[in-house]
Amino acid sequence: MYWTLELASKLEDAPWPATKEELIDFGIRSGAPLEVIENLQEIEDEGEIYESIEDIWPDYPSKDDFFFNEEEY
């Protein structure tokens, strides 16, 4: 399983919170690339409810990661 920013962005409009099955269904209905569906199918799931993409891909960049912060430099 691998995620890229482009693949993960296909789930931004998903109906969060959602189960693995709901996310797969959303991916299929929204025409997401096959890699997104395969990544979701590979998740070891015990009936968990996912609140956001960060629950699936912990390294998902936040919006703050894209903004320049003058205080850091």
| Contact by Cβ (8 Å): 47, 31 | no
pLDDT for the residue numbered 17: 96
Q: Domains of the chain: which residue ranges?
A: 1-53
Q: What is the sign, positive or negative, of the torsion defined by CA atoms of 62, 66, 68, 73?
A: positive
pLDDT for the residue numbered 64: 62
Average pLDDT of span 11-21: 93
First to last CA, the chain: 35
Rounded Cα distance, 4 and 7, in Å: 5
Residue, of 71 and 56, whose pLDDT is higher: 56
- C-alpha distances out from residue 3 to 11, 23, 63, Å: 11, 15, 17
In tens, the pLDDT along 20-59 reads 999 999 999 999 999 999 999 999 888 899 999 889 888 8
